[in-house]
Amino acid sequence: MTIQPLRLLGDPVLRTACDPVTRFDDATGRLADDLLENVLLPGRAGLAAPQIGITLAAFAYNVDGQHGCVLNPVVVEASGEYDGPEGCLSIPGLTACCVRAMRAVVTGVDRHGDPVTVTGTGELSRCLQHETDHLRGVLFIDRLTGQRRKDALAQLRSPVRPLSREAG
């Protein structure tokens, strides 16, 4: 297994909208393998391709024993409200409460181009939304408002932040 280095806040790749995956070849299979192998490391819930420097629409998830990889994901359904702590591997040490949909359905394709659908509630829903956002250049801190946003930005400016093991 190759542990991929993570791109961190400030790297322009994290703010770049990803291109769709159009070729389903060995390179696509290696990308899917890399994402899956790296998301299965301890303390990781999700990992999007831009977080390892690749601007293709792909992410892997690993929440409550459910794991997989989705290429060209689209959130086709989101319902309810789920408020709770969220973090990001690309913003180590920062955790903030963020409102997400309680239930989310993502459709896309697998490494071979075959259709896949992933339905999640709670933390899996949060992860699916978080990782799909990454593919559009959106970070969870962009979803924060009011005092939560102010507190998160202040924490980012702080010279010392504790390491976080929250969602990717």
**CATH assignment of the domain containing 56:** 3.90.45.10
Is 2 inside a domain boundary?
no
- Pick the closest to residue 6 from 93, 66, 71 (CA basis): 93
pLDDT cut 70: percent of the chain above it = 94
Choice among 77, 86, 123, 131 that is catalytic = 131
- Please report whether residue 19 resides in a domain: yes
Do the domain assignments include residue 77? yes
Domain that holds residue 26: 12-157
Least confident of 36-40, 120-124, 152-156: 152-156
Q: What is the pLDDT of residues 43-87, one digit of tens each?
A: 999 999 999 999 999 999 999 999 999 999 999 999 999 999 999
What total of structural domains would you count in the chain? 1
Please, are residues 35 and 49 in contact by the beta-carbon 8 Å criterion?
A: yes
Closest to 133 in 3D by CA, of 160, 104, 162: 104
- Considering the domain boundaries, does residue 3 fall inside one? no
Residue 34 has φ and ψ, to the nearest 5°, of: -60, -45
13-to-116, 122, 137 alpha-carbon distances in Å: 26, 28, 8
Active site residue 166: no
- Give percent above pLDDT 90 in the chain: 89
Is the separation of the CB atoms in 83 and 98 below 8 Å? yes
Q: What is the pLDDT at residue 2?
A: 78
Q: Is the CB of residue 126 less than 8 Å from the CB of residue 84?
A: yes
Position 109 in a domain: yes
> In the predicted model, is pLDDT for residue 104 greater than 50?
yes
Whether 35 maps to a domain, the answer reads yes
92 in a structural domain = yes
Distance linking the first and last C-alpha atoms of the chain:
19
Dist. CA 47–CA 34, nearest whole Å? 10
